[in-house]
């Protein structure tokens, strides 16, 4: 499963979104993340995903090293980016949002902690 994820930055903080309580990584926080469609450009997918989940637009998007996260039942391939946010935040599909200085401020999945630690 291919995913795009974006470390959205504003005022030296990053945006994290809390997943719904049920399902994979339920209740944990993560950067805006969504599926990469087959043959879709990862940068275009990242901008699409962030806008659809947060209504934010992105400036200065930069790719980060791709990585894999293996679960017992699936292999996830992440195409991460970092970018600056502009616009008004309106969250869709997540329980809450929070701008944080570091991942340790909230409970995050291992893959998200790894990504944020590399930023």
CA dist., res. 97 & res. 89, Å (int): 9
| Structural contact between residues 7 and 116, judged by C-beta atoms closer than 8 angstroms | yes
Global pTM exceeds 0.85: yes
Percentage of the chain modeled with pLDDT above 70? 92
Predicted local confidence at residue 2, as pLDDT: 87
For 49-107, write each residue's pLDDT tens digit.
999 999 999 999 999 999 988 876 778 899 999 999 999 999 998 999 999 887 667 78
| Lowest mean pLDDT segment, chosen from 19-23, 101-105, 106-110 | 101-105
For residue 31, give the nearest of 4, 67, 58, 11 by alpha carbon.
Answer: 4
| Sign of the dihedral defined by the CA atoms of residues 78, 84, 51, 95, in that order | positive
Q: Is the pLDDT of residue 22 over 80?
A: no
Position 24 confidence tier, pLDDT thresholds 50, 70, 90: low
Amino acid 112: pLDDT: 87
User: Which residue has 């275009």 as its token pair?
Assistant: 44
Domains of the chain: 2-118 (3.90.79.10)
Q: How does the average pLDDT of the chain come out, rounded? A: 89
Statement: residue 113 has pLDDT above 60? yes
């Amino acid at each position: 499963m291919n995913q795009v994820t974006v470390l959205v930055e504003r005022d030296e903080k990053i945006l994290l979104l809390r997943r719904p309580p049920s399902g994979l990584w339920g209740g944990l926080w993560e950067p805006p993340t969504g599926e990469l469609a087959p043959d879709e450009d990862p940068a275009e997918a990242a901008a699409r995903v962030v806008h659809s989940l947060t209504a934010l637009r992105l400036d200065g998007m930069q790719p980060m090293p791709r990585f894999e996260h293996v679960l017992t039942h699936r292999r996830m391939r992440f195409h991460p980016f970092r970018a600056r946010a502009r616009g008004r935040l309106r969250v869709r599909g997540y329980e809450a949002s929070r701008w944080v200085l570091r991942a340790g401020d909230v409970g995050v999945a291992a893959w998200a902690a790894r990504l944020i630690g590399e930023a």
